[in-house]
Amino acid sequence: MTSTIETRPSPLQRLRGLRMEAFGFALIGASGVVVNFGLFWILNNAVGLASLRSNIAATVVAIATNYLGYRYWLYRDRDAASRKREITLFLLFSGVGMLIETGTLGFTQYVLGLDSPVERLGGKLLGLAIATVFRFVSYRTWVFKAMPELEDPEVVQEAELLLAAEERPALAN
């Protein structure tokens, strides 16, 4: 008689995992926001670069710093078998997010006429909020994919026996 082992987490466990993932995403994203807004402010107000160009430059730097945080901290346990694919998708979805952010900033500045430094930051913040939702969904769904779950109970049981056998000599030391 073969015993079955439940391999799928309960809905409550998945919700807790998603909450922790969202928290980590927000933490890394917050550091990216500091980089993004700080560099935007410097380029736009201190250097005098146009707001849309400042936004693009600041966002590109923030994308690079965020990738490092996502890959090497938040999603370090995710499948990294194809880094080329991962980086390509990350840059693609980050680029779409940048277009969302820059488009919103351009709309608030050039269509709505909100052109003071504080109003530009507000337009950038609105665009960033919309782009963040898009990025979270796309990164977790397509870029940093979870390792496939083992669904065959016999394979799971065999893997657990192998792991237990490997741990025994370590416990003897």
Report if residue 4 sits inside a domain: no
Report if residue 138 sits inside a domain: yes
Instruction: Kindly give the residue spans of alpha helices, DSSP state H, lying in 43-152.
Output: 51-69, 83-106, 117-138
φ/ψ (deg, to 5) at 45: -100, -40
**14: number of CA atoms within 13 Å, CB side?**
6
* Location of structure tokens 């993004």: 36
Note down the domain range covering 95: 12-172
The count of domains in the chain is 1
Instruction: Tell me what the mean pLDDT of segment 144-167 comes to.
Output: 63
Report if residue 2 sits inside a domain: no
Gap between the Cα atoms of 23 and 14, Å rounded: 14
Report if residue 118 sits inside a domain: yes
Report if residue 3 sits inside a domain: no
Report if residue 30 sits inside a domain: yes
pLDDT of residue 140: 84
Gap between the Cα atoms of 134 and 132, Å rounded: 5
Report if residue 6 sits inside a domain: no
Please say if the pLDDT value at position 154 is more than 60: yes
Instruction: Give the closest residue to 43 by CA, choosing from 57, 59, 28, 64.
Output: 57
pTM above 0.85, yes or no: no
What digits encode the pLDDT tens for the residues 79-122? 667 778 888 999 999 999 999 999 999 999 999 999 999 999 99
